[in-house]
Structure 1
């Protein structure tokens, strides 16, 4: 007998949305059945017209613990994730101290996360100047890939790579079949803002900075054979570069973020909207949506990068750059996607299936037999107004404050059990067998 059966007339499955009953046994999906099937189980839930989604996989989250836990932390970040339908996140190697650039730092990170996580958590390693000898050991210890910066990261303990250093890191990562994930902005194209307003900040990080960096990364992929993923694409000018790389058969993928798809420069009222690369003009958004529809951009992830509130005060020249949206990514994207004719299956592909495939996170990314029973009850037609006080991440700062969004997460299940205040998330290891 199964442990649990969940029925929905809007189950979002790999082949589309339809009525179905999903059975769960020992934490995994044991079957996907007709909606009315007779399925004895220890417990059953009938969602009616509430959609049943696979748990989201967010591969771009800055938890900041240890070292800058006052900015966020595993307990608060993973509670926010669960409230937003995210059942798996992969933590970036910065802005924690120490950054995850060698095996000792990975051990410190895992120790900080142990027993604190409401959802499953994996880890990226980092590629920084001088740590090529640490890349293979980190890979063997189970990190999901390696992040590098082509321009200043904003924190001194995680320096950017020069082109030569990047080439060396790519060659090493390619030698063991790893994944490089790249913050692509050309440092020579960036400048200091000439004033404290948003127009000056935006002008200091032009679209050409992204395009030039993406072109350089693609050349290094062609030279080294490494598998590479371009992070947080904000500039529409990059879409054709990425499309050509894919057409040429290069192993290059890319992501964008909810704030680039939904917000625009005119929305930037205060530093809650500041991030790098920046939120651009409204005309920039639709090419990103077309890139998603064409599978040139494959993932939508949050780049949740919070900080202490005092670092978001002041002007756009001096405030910390980072958007807090881990809890809100799903309704933000769904609100805008449905207005453009996209369905829940598309959103599920961008926010669950593709990120799980990118990082090769085992057992995640879809409602399929054998996968972990990570599931989300999502009231896709219900609306709410964003109230920062209702958010679970450490600080109530968000650029979406006061916006009316469509889609409410009602319940999140992790391996078949509703997520509660008791942390039951696991620390994921790329090397573990299932």
Structure 2
């Protein structure tokens, strides 16, 4: 492609940044390319040897990737719990966005909990934006929350620029963010249908959970039994029915139960406005390998059996699952109860914001899945689901957000070396393949000392 967004020949024009790569992951596939950037945006994508040049400005740069490196679009992680303000000892915007940048992520969308206050009205959104503004090392957008009694707050939040609304159908783990009853789920979807809003759902059914064995103690098998696949399957069926009835858009968060894939595929084929995500921990770990007492591996819904993991991979390959996001849900070491290993009482959440690309690529490569597909699941797909504009692809007019990735470099995760505020990781000492060598935000290398991220609005 030799034409810039104004429709003029641009090969002989100067750019603020030129990146030359033998391998670049473009929307149409992997190929050699030269990418020209001006004023933070991609304005030229040319074939190898086009000779794009930097401007005479002192800040202009030409970057040539070596043969071991691949140019990727900056990743988009639309499921991140930053917890700031209110629980910033769990994670904060500075630590979270540094970790994201170190993992090749240039945009996150922050969940409405577990911050205090939760993002359930315009006032609380304003508080969160004010806190994030001076701390963001990458770009940050925000989800709103749907809880009992705040249906009237959804449209004002929508107008204020949130990307959609999160709800739970089972206890969220924090008192200030209660779950919706089935009739409230339908009412909120009907409300959102009026202006094409998106409801993103933690789908575990309360009644199924109530009938399941109670969770306590060190045995992972007991924890797994307390959150059965049926809880997800029933809740997802309810979301599908409500989305069909209202015509609203719905998104299933952190899919764990592969048993739900057939009903999801059927709903999509029928035309129900449904999208689905899964997470690295469900694609990496299996229930069989988790030791008793290893509360680092507790998350909700839980990690399931090896056969389930393989079915989730197949759901990605066949398109039933749309995207992969982290569900980065950190806490302090104390809340993980590492000393007692009590799965019943420990906080449920796995921190992987800095590690997602390497984790997923390691497992994908074992299964013969190419890097371009992995990158799409972690960049353009979450950007599309959430509606994050000008992100997630190396395309004309998009923000010049990139990750330089060495796909064959092998390394070992050490939790103490991560940027996460609490350096507790289910992946500690795990060997992975693929390393992020540099992350570029709007044409400039991410500065890990000076925050340069922007706060994003959906509209």
TM-score, length-scaled by structure 2: 0.93
Aligned partner of residue 30 in structure 2, secondary structure: strand
1:48 paired to 2:66: yes
* Counterpart residue number, 2:303: 279
Aligned-partner Cα distance in 2 for 1:83–1:312: 24
1:126 paired to 2:154: no
Aligned partner of residue 147 in structure 2, secondary structure: coil
* Counterpart residue number, 1:83: 102
Contact 1:331 1:408 in 2 (8 A): yes
* Counterpart residue number, 1:300: 324
1:162 paired to 2:181: yes
Structure number with larger C-alpha Rg = 2
1:47 to partner: Cα distance: 0.5
1:246 paired to 2:257: no
1:359 to partner: Cα distance: 1.1
Structure 1 runs (4+) deviating above 6 angstroms are: none
1:38 to partner: Cα distance: 1.0
Deviates more, 1:298-307 or 1:259-268: 259-268
How many residues align? The count is 431
Correspondent of 2:51 among 29, 38, 54: 38
1:39 to partner: Cα distance: 1.1
1:194 to partner: Cα distance: 5.0
1:153 paired to 2:172: yes
Correspondent of 1:181 among 191, 200, 205: 200
Correspondent of 2:255 among 233, 238, 242: 233
Correspondent of 2:277 among 251, 255, 259: 255
Deviates more, 1:76-85 or 1:27-36: 27-36
Aligned-partner Cα distance in 2 for 1:334–1:202: 26
Contact 1:197 1:317 in 2 (8 A): no
Aligned-partner Cα distance in 2 for 1:351–1:38: 31
Aligned-partner Cα distance in 1 for 2:235–2:217: 25
* Counterpart residue number, 2:18: 5
Aligned-partner Cα distance in 2 for 1:152–1:224: 24
1:26 paired to 2:34: no
Aligned-partner Cα distance in 1 for 2:40–2:275: 31
Correspondent of 1:15 among 28, 31, 34: 28
Aligned-partner Cα distance in 2 for 1:117–1:138: 21
Contact 1:20 1:35 in 2 (8 A): yes
Deviations 1:83-118 (A, max 9, x none): 000000000000001000001100111011011000
Q: For 1:106-121, what aligned pairs fall within 5 Å after superposition?
A: 106-121=125-140
What's the Cα RMSD here? Answer: 0.8
Aligned partner of residue 357 in structure 2, secondary structure: helix
1:136 to partner: Cα distance: 0.1
Aligned-partner Cα distance in 2 for 1:194–1:241: 32
1:55 to partner: Cα distance: 0.3
1:96 paired to 2:118: no
Contact 1:253 1:297 in 2 (8 A): yes
Aligned partner of residue 115 in structure 2, secondary structure: coil
1:309 to partner: Cα distance: 0.8
1:413 paired to 2:432: no
1:422 paired to 2:450: yes
TM-score, length-scaled by structure 1: 0.98
Aligned partner of residue 400 in structure 2, secondary structure: coil
1:266 to partner: Cα distance: 2.4
Aligned-partner Cα distance in 2 for 1:126–1:290: 31
Aligned partner of residue 20 in structure 1, secondary structure: strand
* Counterpart residue number, 1:59: 78
Deviations 1:182-209 (A, max 9, x none): 0000111114215431110000000011
Deviates more, 1:190-199 or 1:327-336: 190-199
Q: For 1:176-215, what aligned pairs fall within 5 Å after superposition?
A: 176-190=195-209, 191=212, 192-193=214-215, 195-215=217-237
Gaps of 5+ in 1: none
